[in-house]
Each structure stands twice: as C-alpha cells, then as structure tokens.
Amino acid sequence: MTEEPDTHTPPPEENDKTPDRSGTAVATPKRKAAPDRPKPRQLPPFKVLLHNDDVSTVDHVVRSIVKLTPLQIQQAVEKTLEAHKTGVSLLLVTHQERAELYQEQFTSLSLTVTIEPDA
C-alpha cells in the first residue's frame, strides 16, 4: 500500500483570518513580538518663567501666551496677573530644547522669559 501525501492543510487560527473584499476569510501571517527595547531616558525638566515688565500691556502678554503655549485664555490671564503682582510667573515645565524655543519666541514678541532647571 502506497502512502499518499497529505494534501489537507489545516485551517488558519481564527484570530489570523482577515476578510478580503469578497467576504472570504484570508489567512494573514502571525506577527512576531517586538523585541524588548530600553525605555527612552526622560529629558530633564526646565521651568519657563514669565517676568513682569513696565512696557507690555496685559492684553499683549495674554495673547502671546495663548499664541505660543498650550495654555487657554483663563490660564494665560492668571499667569499674566501673577507676573504683574509678584514679578514672575511659572508658565510651564518642559524639556530644555522646547524651553529654549519658548524663550526665543517670547523674546521675539518683546516679552521677558527665562528658563531654569526644575529641581
């Protein structure tokens, strides 16, 4: 008796079926698990500080904050008034490169912003 080759292919697992446009299930290859990668190191945080000046109007400062940062109008008003009353206000904390960008952008609008490491 001669052995016939096995021509029966087992169906793909249920999770591996993807319907094609005709409605027929088509087997898709299983994805390999991604290799474990080390987590990217956290960049050190920097404070972005708004300083009061005697030249800029409250409206200009508020509009600038809303334009350049993710802060909303009410938050921008609060930060502006805090800088006006106390001399300085913490706008936000971000990584150094973005903090430097904020500083340049505020300077271009004639506003004084400094950055410093967040301890």
Domain residue extents for the chain: 55-117
Q: Are 76 and 62 in contact (CB under 8 A)?
A: yes
Structure tokens belonging to residue 119: 């301890």
Q: Note the pLDDT of residue 69.
A: 98
Nearest to 88 by CA among 60, 67, 111, 118: 111
Q: pLDDT tens, 8-47? A: 555 555 555 555 566 666 666 667 666 777 777 788 999 9
Which has more pLDDT, 65 or 29? 65
Q: Are 92 and 69 in contact (CB under 8 A)?
A: yes
In one-letter notation, the amino acid at residue 26 is V
Q: pLDDT tens, 86-115? A: 999 999 999 999 999 999 999 999 999 999
Q: Are 53 and 112 in contact (CB under 8 A)?
A: yes
